[in-house]
């Protein structure tokens, strides 16, 4: 059995005896305990970090909370957080009108050169940052939100309150690395794998509602979908 595999198995066994929030043994101690190079332990710890089973706390490491599992459906992240017994939260980063590039004017069905609303927020669960969400909205439909919408609350709830009914969405998920700016905002690093989501939603009449570009911490969030055989 290879040393990396054996060390990973040993670390999994240690985790099985710990609970959320418990301190995890440091790299140096683990290397001495198992008689291996610190690099071997470091690689195994990195795997656990990426999987979201442990997390950095100051200069130490602790057992992490389970990942927030988000449904791939026409719902906001709020429902997923509540379903898992987590408290959702949002922190406003940017709220501005921007000159829409060609891809956005087409996706939101607005005239070329028109501005669109850009709402950028940090997404939190139990006060822990899980992602960065950028939403683009057509001003002719939702321009009044600048006066009526509280950005710390659910955007989907506010949209539905105007009488808009979500019809369908196309969503794409990709792996990505965060830019230095985004990594700083979500309190991660440019080396940590991220999940990038692109969504375009339309209402039941086929009119565009939003374009969303979200960046989620891969160590804190997972996604799932319910699949049915319709044949």
134-143 pLDDT, tens digit per residue, is 999 999 999 9
150 falls within a domain: yes
Task: Decide which of 47 and 3 is more confident.
Answer: 47
Residues 57 and 80 in one domain: no
Domain final residue, candidates 63, 96, 114: 63
Domain final residue, candidates 24, 46, 63: 63
Q: Write the CATH number for 41.
A: 1.10.10.10
Residue 157's SS3 state is helix
Mean residue pLDDT of the chain comes to 90
3-state secondary structure 131-155: EEEEEEEEHHHHCCHHHHCCCCCCH
- Residues in contact with 102: Cβ distance below 8 Å, sequence separation at least 6, in sequence order: 112
229 falls within a domain: no
72 falls within a domain: yes
> Rounded to a whole number, what is the distance in angstroms from the first to the last CA of the chain?
46
Please give the residue range of the domain that contains residue 215. Answer: 68-224
pTM for the model stands at 0.86
146 falls within a domain: yes
């Amino acid at each position: 059995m290879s040393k990396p595999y054996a060390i990973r198995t040993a670390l999994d066994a240690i985790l099985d005896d710990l609970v959320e929030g418990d301190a995890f043994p440091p790299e140096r101690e683990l290397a001495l305990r198992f008689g291996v190079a610190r690099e071997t332990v470091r690689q195994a710890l990195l795997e656990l970090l990426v999987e979201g089973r442990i997390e950095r706390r100051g200069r130490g490491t602790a057992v992490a909370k389970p990942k927030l599992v988000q449904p791939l459906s026409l719902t906001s992240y709020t429902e997923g957080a509540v379903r898992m017994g987590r408290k959702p939260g949002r922190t406003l980063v940017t709220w501005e009108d921007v000159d829409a590039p060609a891809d956005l004017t087409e996706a939101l069905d607005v005239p070329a050169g028109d501005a669109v609303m850009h709402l950028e927020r940090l997404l939190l669960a139990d006060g822990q940052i899980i992602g960065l969400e950028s939403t683009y909205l057509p001003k002719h439909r939702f321009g009044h939100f600048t006066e009526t919408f509280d950005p710390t609350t659910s955007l989907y709830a506010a949209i539905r309150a105007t009488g808009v009914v979500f019809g369908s969405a196309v969503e794409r998920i990709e792996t990505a690395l965060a830019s230095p700016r985004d990594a700083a905002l979500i309190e991660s690093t440019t080396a940590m794998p991220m999940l990038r989501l692109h969504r375009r939603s339309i209402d039941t009449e086929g009119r565009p509602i939003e374009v969303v570009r979200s960046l989620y911490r891969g160590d804190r969030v997972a996604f799932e979908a319910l699949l049915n055989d319709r044949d």
